[in-house]
Amino acid sequence: MGKNKQETQCVHAGQLPDPLYQGAISPLYLSTAYGYEETDRYPRYFNTPNQVGLAQKIAALEGAEAALIFGSGMAAISTALMAYLHKGDHVVLQNDLYGGTTNLVKEHFEKFGIEYSFTKGLTANDFEAEIKANTKVIYIETPSNPLMKIIDLEAIAALAKRHALVSMIDNTFASPINQNPIAYGIDIVIHSATKYLGGHSDILAGAIACSKAHLEPLFALAKSFGGNLSDLSVWLLERSIKTLAVRVKQQNENAMAIATYLSQHPQVANVYYPGLSSHPDHDLANKQMRGFTGMMSFELAPKVHRKTFEQALQIIQPVVSLAGVESTITIPCITSHKLLSDAARAQQGITDQLVRLSVGVEHVDDLKQDLDQALKKGAHET
Ligand SMILES: *Cc1c(COP(=O)(O)O)cnc(C)c1O
């Protein structure tokens, strides 16, 4: 399946045969007990037929040799970091990561004797400045949440190789359709499959894709942590990924049209979308991404009352989480970035008027119309 295009991999890679009935889809194996003569097959060992098939599909989509499927994105992230960091080691992390990752590091690493530094900026030099003699891992996330800043994959991979570090990326926002970090030399790719891979806001899951050699320590720890995904959800996730390419391409297209529309809207002060040539990282995004995702954020003009805008939306739903087929918004200052101090939020450029939009697969005209009427109500213009 490695040679097929991604659209074909989405549908067919890792599909299980149905020798009994020749069914067109993977049979579901829910057994937690398998014969011990030939294998030590067990769900927590990540080796049931459905887990193995789905791992092959995700590995194919990321251009990786292997993958593991987890019960959540955080199970994947914590397993990856803990597998490669030992007592006395140090990790360099990007300064604006997913909140759950930041909490894992800040609240728990000290008790394991693991040291860490968050970068001051997002260039390779900013990462290099934090490297110490005991640094073992570099951890990035691009595009970043919520301002869609782009980190240079090639530069980070080269930096990691120069210092013999393991490089890890949270590739959730891009999805494998828009970005394959392994092609740029990144070692370990992590997904919250709750987002684009699942795509329907109904599965909590995670995944790691990497080389077979990099998988070994991960697998050894993962079996002990016990964070595998149940096979019923594995089967549902496999079905969801069959439409990943179609969904994401439509989301890319809708988002580009909406970002362009909002950037010309009088009630919008700023739009952060890497597909716009006005985005500071547009050239870099163009170099390393095939599409610019369905994610963006924008700042309401000062005269727009944010709460009125939120409540006026009729199609776009105000919910936490992202990347579903339905369009959703969140307000970073009261959700994902609530725990930061006012000063830290301001320093990251996250204002009280900032709205994060996850664009779905509805018709783009309906989405524009919904945003327009809510922006006008927010500005008391209707
Ligand atoms: C949601 C998310 C996570 C965490 O994933 P869960 O499936 O909720 O555990 C990690 N990284 C990013 C970028 C996310 O959006």
- pLDDT tens, residue by residue, 10-35: 999 999 999 999 999 999 999 999 99
Q: How far apart are CA 204 and CA 85, in angstroms?
A: 26
All domains of the chain in start order, with CATH: 6-241 (3.40.640.10), 245-381 (3.90.1150.10)
Please indicate whether residue 63 or residue 350 has the higher confidence score (pLDDT).
Answer: 63
Can you list the alpha helix ranges (DSSP code H) found in the chain?
Answer: 6-12, 49-62, 73-84, 99-108, 124-128, 153-162, 175-178, 212-225, 231-241, 244-263, 282-288, 306-312, 342-348, 364-378
- pLDDT greater than 60 at residue 251: yes
pLDDT in tens, 177-202: 999 999 999 999 999 999 999 999 99
Residue 127: which of 172, 163, 103 has the closest Cα? 163
Q: What is the pLDDT, as a whole number, of residue 2?
A: 53
CB 96 within 8 A of CB 143: no
Over residues 319-356, the pLDDT tens digits come to 988 999 999 999 998 888 887 788 888 888 889 999 99
Mean pLDDT to the nearest integer, 192-217: 98
Tell the residue nearest (CA) to atom 8 of ligand 1. Answer: 73
pTM above threshold 0.85: yes
Res. 38: pLDDT tops 80: no
Query: Closest residue (by CA) to atom 7 of ligand 1?
Result: 73
Ligand 1 contacts (CB < 6 A) are 72-74, 98, 100, 141, 145, 170, 172-173, 192, 194-195, 204, 206
Tokens representing 193? 């499959």
pLDDT digits (tens, 9 = 90+) for 108-123: 999 999 999 999 999 9
